[in-house]
Amino acid sequence: MLEKLDLLEQRYRELGITISDPNVIARQDEWQKLMKEHANIQPIVEKYREYKSIKKELDDVEELLADDSLDAELQALAQEELKELEPRAEKVRSELQVLLIPKDPNDKKNVVVEIRAGAGGEEAALFAADLLRMYTRYAERNGWKFEVMNANYTDMGGVKEIIFVIEGEGAYSRLKYESGVHRVQRIPTTESGGRIHTSTVTVAVLPEAEDVEIDINPNDIQIDVYRSSGHGGQSVNTTDSAVRLTHIPTGIVVTCQDERSQHKNREKAMRVLKARLFDMLQSEQQSEYAEARRSQIGTGDRSERIRTYNFPQGRVTDHRIGYTIYQLEMFLDGDIDEMLNALIQADQAELIKNMAQ
């Protein structure tokens, strides 16, 4: 690790000189790229210099303690200083390890979230609506923008399927851990005998693709328009505003009927289609790292049961890390940072372990 840090510090110094060169500044594209690299390295180099400073103090104190001629008072002071410096050095070293973890290039992106009711009929749809509210409240807490792309509700207010976009700095870095099967155990409102039922809901979290990342050939898309159905407003069953996009090469189908305007529905459907294609492309590119991904805390095999919401016991348990929170009501109100922080820390620990190996 220290060898890598020495190389990074050397690169940082070189970049500092290069980005100050008027000839390089004149080449704006190149200069911007170098400035970005310089900014990315800076936090690591600053933390490394802090570590080296503490390490030098440690070495000096240890050298002092090795001196047999040192009087008792100075030796006691040196021992006290050693006790203070050792945990500081370990703390900074741990922070350096985290900084050296390769960054997920998608972490700063917006997310496309898909929630679908699974096993459990109407009760699963009602819990899907609870999860929708949870993510809506979480977005509000972070000041993120929430926009529904397409939704299919039940007559009792449940959600059969909903697709929405959350726009905000770092949205994917936090919510990527939500992909998977969410299980609920509770007495449904439709249950007269008071029996606890188990239902499931599937959540998929995709990074929203930027136009430069996904280039779709218009000839590869089949566009169908039809009349909206279900909840929606005055345009339902009166105009051909709903849009279905079929990506012919992959067979991916996206529908959108949430807006009254066919044009707006088409725009929304295209955003979802790009996100799904981007997710598929990434999965193919990363297939060679499948074993490494399986060892991580996971951004989501959608068939994996990741979490249980147990209403009788008032608890939420994440099965990937064995972490339980006994504040179910607050959790479903969007107070999910404690769980997400635990998942992030576990993921970082696993990545550091893999780096060491």
Q: Which residue has the tokens 């390769």?
A: 102
- The verdict on pTM exceeding 0.85 is no
Is 105 inside a domain boundary?
A: no
At CA 290, angle to CA 179 and CA 301, rounded to 5?
A: 20
Per-residue confidence in pLDDT tens, the chain, 357 aa: 778 888 899 999 999 999 999 999 999 989 999 998 899 899 999 999 999 999 999 999 998 888 888 788 888 888 899 999 999 999 998 888 888 877 777 888 889 999 999 988 899 999 999 999 999 999 999 999 999 988 889 988 899 999 999 999 889 999 999 999 999 999 887 666 778 899 999 999 988 877 556 778 888 889 888 877 655 444 444 566 788 899 988 888 888 887 778 888 888 888 888 888 888 877 665 554 444 344 444 544 456 789 999 999 999 999 999 999 999 999 999 999 999 999 998 988 888 777 665
| Alpha carbons within 13 A on the beta-carbon side of 345 | 9
In this structure, the number of other CB atoms found within 10 A of the CB of residue 328 comes to 17
- Point out the domain boundary residue: 81, 100, 119: 100
Q: Quote the pLDDT of residue 237.
A: 47
Query: H or E element: which one contains 228?
Result: none
Q: Give the structural domain span for 194.
A: 111-210+300-356
DSSP of 153-191, one letter per residue?
E-TTS-EEEEEEEEESTTHHHHHGGG-EEEEEEE--TT-
Whether residues 117 and 175 share a domain: the answer is: yes
DSSP of 5-24, one letter per residue?
HHHHHHHHHHHHHHTT-HHH
Write the burial class of residue 356 (CB in 10 Å: 0-12 exposed, 13-18 middle, 19+ buried).
exposed
Total of domains in the chain: 3
Whether residues 228 and 272 share a domain: the answer is: yes
Whether residues 155 and 184 share a domain: the answer is: yes
CATH number, residue 162: 3.30.70.1660
Whether residues 167 and 18 share a domain: the answer is: no
Q: Coil, strand or helix: which one is 307? A: strand
Q: Are 271 and 245 in contact (CB under 8 A)?
A: no
Q: Which amino acid is at 7?
A: L
Is 290 inside a domain boundary?
A: no
Q: Which residue has the tokens 């969410």?
A: 182
Which residues lie below 8 Å from residue 139, measured CB to CB, with a gap of 6+? 145, 146, 166, 168, 171, 334
Write the burial class of residue 285 (CB in 10 Å: 0-12 exposed, 13-18 middle, 19+ buried).
exposed
Is 293 inside a domain boundary?
A: no
- Point out the domain boundary residue: 51, 78, 100: 100
| Alpha carbons within 13 A on the beta-carbon side of 204 | 18
Beta strands of the chain (E only): which ranges? 111-117, 145-153, 159-167, 180-186, 197-207, 221-226, 242-247, 252-256, 305-310, 315-318, 323-325
Report the C-alpha gap between 254 and 242 in whole angstroms: 11
Whether residues 199 and 311 share a domain: the answer is: yes
